[in-house]
Structure 1
């Protein structure tokens, strides 16, 4: 049985371009304040219909590769039924089906248990909404 549940909201400004924003340091800081050497789970959730959470390598081009792949799979054109905002904005509403709005990650002894090259990232292709929230919740 879990001893505690703690949650906090990050406010992220993604700007006016498609982005992959590394949240790993924010997650680690949150766990330093809340996990206190305990084992548990970190849930990362973005409460927006047009953004997602991914675990991937950043800094070596994988983040740019992800955005390029999303452009191929979800082109920003007029094919989408959802048609408000910027041209092709309907694709942004399909994004969470491919990059889910959440990730649940193991925490061991208060530390995020990621692989060597893994980072926790906010994926945001919606250029119409540059202000995002990300909820971090620790259960342990």
Structure 2
């Protein structure tokens, strides 16, 4: 059994889904691990990870609009230390999650045909985000 870890660093430009599928796939190939389990962790409380459709760009736009409707900005939050998007970003992160597990076989993630891995930025200003990757297998 072998293990590998790395940190992906990504620059975001505000709210939206940033696809990381290819970067993760490239790293898996570099590890030489063919069969195993990938774990990904977003190292932030105001961004998150998700698996979603990567074919239709409208999915990403609709997802951002839906998250905004579920956790809108406003003065009704007590926590606003970093501005009006602070608490809504934490709520959106709680809704979408901070980690993912993906099986790996033949040196590739076993994602469905239309699935991609995304970092979801919930803050309004640009950020540098980190995703920790861990792969265990043979």
TM-score using structure 1 length: 0.91
Q: Secondary structure at the match of 1:48?
A: coil
Q: What is the CA–CA distance in structure 2 between the aligned matches of 1:134 and 1:106, rounded to whole Å?
A: 17
Which position in structure 2 is the counterpart of 1:19?
16
Kept after mapping to 1: 8 A contact 2:19/2:119: yes
2:17 paired with 1:45: no
Aligned residue runs from structure 1 range 87-98, under 5 A: 87-98=84-95
Query: 1:82, CA displacement in angstroms?
Result: 1.1
Query: What residue ranges of structure 2 are gaps of 5+ in the alignment?
Result: none
Aligned pair partner of 2:7 in 2, 9, 34: 9
Aligned residue runs from structure 1 range 19-98, under 5 A: 19-36=16-33, 38-60=34-56, 61-98=58-95
Residue deviations 1:94-114 (CA, integer Å, cap 9, x gap): 122211011000101211110
Q: Secondary structure at the match of 1:132?
A: strand
Which position in structure 1 is the counterpart of 2:124?
127
Query: 1:67, CA displacement in angstroms?
Result: 0.4
Q: Secondary structure at the match of 2:68?
A: helix
Kept after mapping to 2: 8 A contact 1:79/1:88: no
Kept after mapping to 1: 8 A contact 2:11/2:126: no
* Pairs aligned (count): 136
Greater strand share, structure number: 2
Q: What is the CA–CA distance in structure 2 between the aligned matches of 1:10 and 1:46, rounded to whole Å?
A: 10
